């Protein structure tokens, strides 16, 4: 969560998505931060009693977007057209971009371009009041969970790219603990609600097993 990051990480890749203060979602975010502070991530990701699953997923999805935004923002100088001509997560996994509306046929592009497309697309979804309603009493759409799953699946790819292609600069910048804590929180969350297909997680399977085995 955002409180994990010091001022060194204040550079974000895209503008931070704020949850309006005083709203119920803001209260949920505060609850999430408080339970995260207890150190038990398995418990922290669980749906709080009496809360709506869609709203809990929405608040956490916004938060993960902000975290990844910040983490990627710290290494953009190392992720260039030259260093990363394709969007990959190790030698076996390559991603091509399509959003189904502006770009229907998947295109091969550099990692910075792919991540720019991806984060812009996520931002557009989060800003869409019909998909992510911020006002009390406005219902979530029927397709909300499938949209949230697509967002989280795509955000995972940014973690995978950072771990596979840019872990050295992460260590140099002393961001390793931030990255690991953020990713561990992300994985526990998607596992708790079964939000990302296991095959999609394959590029970081070993790391996932390592990070989660201590907390079974």
The pLDDT, as a whole number, for residue 91 is 93
Percent of the residues in the chain that have a pLDDT greater than 90, as a whole number: 70
Q: How many Cβ atoms sit within 10 Å of the Cβ of residue 75?
A: 21
pLDDT number for residue 214: 66
* Residue-level pLDDT at 92: 94
What's the rounded Cα separation, in Å, for the pair 114 and 87?
Answer: 6
Q: Which residues contact 2 (CB under 8 A, 6 or more apart)?
A: 33, 63, 66, 67, 70
104-158 confidence digits (pLDDT tens): 999 999 999 999 999 999 999 999 999 999 887 889 999 999 999 999 999 999 9
Residues of each annotated binding site for Zn(2+): 79, 84, 161, 166
In SS3 terms, the chain reads as CHHHCCHHHCCCCCCCCCCCCCCHHHHHHHHHHHHHHCCCHHHHCCCCCCCCHHHHHHHHHHHHHHHHHHHHHHHCCCCCCCCCCCEECCCCCEECECCCCCCCCCECCCHHHHHHHHHHHHHHHHHCCCCCCCCCCCCCCCCHHHHHHHHHHHHHHHHHHHHHHCHHHHHHCCCHHHHHHHHHHHHHHHHHCCCCCHHHHHHHHHHHHHHHHCCC
Residue-range domains of the chain with CATH: 24-213 (1.20.140.30)
- Residue 162, pLDDT above cutoff 80: yes
Mean pLDDT of the 8-16 span: 58
For residue 19, which of 71, 59, 46, 64 has the smallest C-alpha distance?
59
Q: Annotated binding site: which residue ranges?
A: 79, 84, 161, 166
How many Å apart are CA 155 and CA 61, to the nearest integer? 9
64 C-beta neighbours (distance < 10 Å), count? 24
Q: Is 171 exposed, middle or buried (0-12, 13-18, 19+ CB in 10 A)?
A: exposed
């Amino acid at each position: 969560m955002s409180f994990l990051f010091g001022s060194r990480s204040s550079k974000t890749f895209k503008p931070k998505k704020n949850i309006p203060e005083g709203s119920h979602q803001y209260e949920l975010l505060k609850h999430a931060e408080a339970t995260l502070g207890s150190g038990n991530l398995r418990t922290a990701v669980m749906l709080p009693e009496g809360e709506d699953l869609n709203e809990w997923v929405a608040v956490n999805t916004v938060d993960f977007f902000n975290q990844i935004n910040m983490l990627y923002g710290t290494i953009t100088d190392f992720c260039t057209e030259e260093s990363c001509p394709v969007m990959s997560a190790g030698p076996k996994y390559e991603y091509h971009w399509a959003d189904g509306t502006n770009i229907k046929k998947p295109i091969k592009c550099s990692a910075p371009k792919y991540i720019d497309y991806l984060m812009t697309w996520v931002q557009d979804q989060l800003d869409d009041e019909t998909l992510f309603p911020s006002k009390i009493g406005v219902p979530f759409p029927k397709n909300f969970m499938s949209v949230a799953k697509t967002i989280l699946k795509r955000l995972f790819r940014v973690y995978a790219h950072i771990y596979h292609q840019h872990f050295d600069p992460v260590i140099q910048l002393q961001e390793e603990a931030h990255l690991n804590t953020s990713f561990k929180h992300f994985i526990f969350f998607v596992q708790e609600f079964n939000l990302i297909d296991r095959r999609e997680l394959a590029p970081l399977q070993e790391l996932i097993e390592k990070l989660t085995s201590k907390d079974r």
